[in-house]
Amino acid sequence: MNILLELLMTLFKVFSALFWASVHFFIPPPQKSVKGEIILITGGGSGIGRLLAQRLAKLGATIVIWDINKEGNEETARLITENGGKAHAYICDISNNSEISVCSETVKREVGCVSMLINNAGIVSGKKFIDTTEKDIVKTFEVNTFAHVWAAKAFLPDMIKNQHGHIVNIVSSAGYIGVNGLSDYCASKFASVGLTECLDLELHFAGHDYINTTLVCPYYIDTGMFAGCQTRFPWLLPILDSDYAADRIMLAILTNQKQLCIPRIIYFLVMLKTIVPASASPYVHRFMGGDKLMANFVGRQGNKKTN
Ligand SMILES: NC(=O)c1ccc[n+]([C@@H]2O[C@H](COP(=O)([O-])OP(=O)(O)OC[C@H]3O[C@@H](n4cnc5c(N)ncnc54)[C@H](O)[C@@H]3O)[C@@H](O)[C@H]2O)c1
């Protein structure tokens, strides 16, 4: 094809995407149905995973939950079935590739083909780089990054065969912007951002556009995972309410949104990062309170709240 024509067509696609993004800012696009879908959520035993599981079950999906927390897992399944929904809870340590392999075969046999995978489980050590042990770092990557890879590898072939599927990776704004005191977590989340972007491109160029991907990058949420963390300007960068975050993620999933950052200012901060010279970055971080963000972190060890 003539290169000029190709350029014009590309520009047309870019501008029409911008046009529709502006329209959808005011009028959300239609939502898809998840009735009858089999949706697997890792880390569904608490926090965001549980809230998504309850919401998706209410819409008629069959929910499969994987978690290492037996009590939390059973509680999520109970909350769903008590409300007339369908849930299957499995103990699965997703930091272990062979356990993912065994659990995925069990799910295929006992429940059926998973049509939506929500990679949600995550952990944080909350330690400074100098204090992180090899075990901390490896575990963080196993849960926050490698599990996304192995779970996608386990379920993607069926999605391709059935020409239908959706992979949702719950990552973090810390997958775009480095945070003082979160080196292992940020590195694992940056990797997952890259994985999701590449996977989406590969699916597109292989002609598998019927499989959607959604990359979710929230700021801190009040689930307890980051208990103790403080934000300097709560009116600008609030600690998100977990129900609000779950509602926004649901909307992104149901409208096949490719990427969601919450709150919206994260989009601007990511752009700012690419414009401001790297030498000035620590001053912007300090002003935004990024130097002390993790100062009072206690995490799940100090806060047993579960949603
Ligand atoms: N809470 C926040 O501030 C925040 C902000 C941005 C992104 N996120 C991300 O959102 C996701 C959900 O976070 P949350 O706040 O609901 O956390 P959470 O601690 O409430 O839930 C995480 C769940 O993952 C499970 N899990 C941990 N290790 C596991 C393993 N090896 N195998 C199976 N399950 C395992 C835990 O048992 C828990 O039920 C995580 O990926 C997190 O990194 C959270």
Q: Ligand 1, atom 37: nearest CA belongs to which residue?
A: 69
Query: Which residue's C-alpha comes closest to atom 8 of ligand 1?
Result: 172
- Between CA 76 and CA 60 the distance in angstroms is 16
Give dist(CA 98, CA 282) in Å, integer: 41
For residue 305, the model assigns a pLDDT of: 38
* CB contact at 8 A, 218 and 172: yes
Evaluate whether residue 170 is within a structural domain: yes
Q: What average pLDDT score do residues 228-247 get?
A: 95
* In a domain? residue 229: yes
Which one of 74, 223, 230 would you pick to mutate in the ligand 1 pocket, going by the greatest count of ligand atoms within 8 A of its CB?
223
Residue type, 85: G
Residue 302's pLDDT is what? 62
Residue 63 lies in a domain: yes
Q: What average pLDDT does the structure give for the chain?
A: 95
The C-alpha atoms of residue 57 and residue 28 are separated, in whole angstroms, by 22
* Catalytic (active site) residue 90: no
CB atoms within 10 A of CB 42: 26
Q: Has residue 258 been placed in a domain?
A: yes
Inside any domain, residue 294: yes
Nearest atom within ligand 1 for CA of residue 174: 6
Q: Assess contact for 106 and 89: CB atoms under 8 A.
A: no
CA-proximal residue: ligand 1, atom 38 (nearest): 43
Does 57 score more than 90 pLDDT? yes
Domain region containing 207: 32-300
Give 304's pLDDT tier (boundaries 50, 70, 90): very low
User: Is the residue at 22 inside a domain?
Assistant: no
Closest atom of ligand 1 to 46 CA is 39
Residue 305 placed within a domain: no
Q: Which of residues 303 and 51 earns the better pLDDT score?
A: 51
For residue 306, being part of any structural domain is answered with no
Q: Quickly list H helices, 142-291.
A: 147-162, 183-205, 242-254, 265-275, 281-287
Give the phi and the psi of residue 211 in degrees, each rounded to 5: -105, 120
The candidate with the shortest Cα–Cα distance to 223, out of 189, 246, 252, is 246
If we measure between CA atoms, which residue out of 178, 254, 261 comes closest to residue 218? 261
Distance from the CA of 14 to the center of ligand 1, in angstroms? 35
Q: Which atom of ligand 1 is nearest to the CA of 185?
A: 43
| Ligand 1 atom having least distance to the Cα of 44 | 39
Query: Atom 23 in ligand 1: which residue has the minimum CA distance?
Result: 43
According to DSSP, residue 224 is labeled S
Q: What is the 208 CA–ligand 1 centroid distance (Å)? A: 29
**Quick one: angle between helices 97-110 and 147-162, nearest 10?**
30
Q: For residue 100, what are the contacts with CB-CB under 8 A and spacing of at least 6?
A: 92, 94, 147, 150, 151, 154
Give the model confidence (pLDDT) of 4-49 as tens digits: 999 999 999 999 999 999 999 899 899 999 999 999 999 999 999 9
Using the mean position of ligand 1's atoms as its centre, give its distance from the Cα of residue 15 in Å.
37
What CATH number is given to the structural domain containing 154?
3.40.50.720
> How far, in Å, is the centroid of ligand 1 from the Cα of 225?
7
Verify cis geometry, omega within 30 degrees of 0, for the bond prior to 263: yes
What total number of domains does the chain contain?
A: 1
* Residue whose CA is at the smallest distance from ligand 1 atom 33: 67
From ligand 1's centre to the CA of 52, what distance in Å? 12
Annotated catalytic residue: which of 90, 185, 219, 220?
A: 185
Percent of the chain topping pLDDT 70 = 98
Mean pLDDT of 290-295: 92
Index of the ligand 1 atom closest to the CA of residue 142? 31
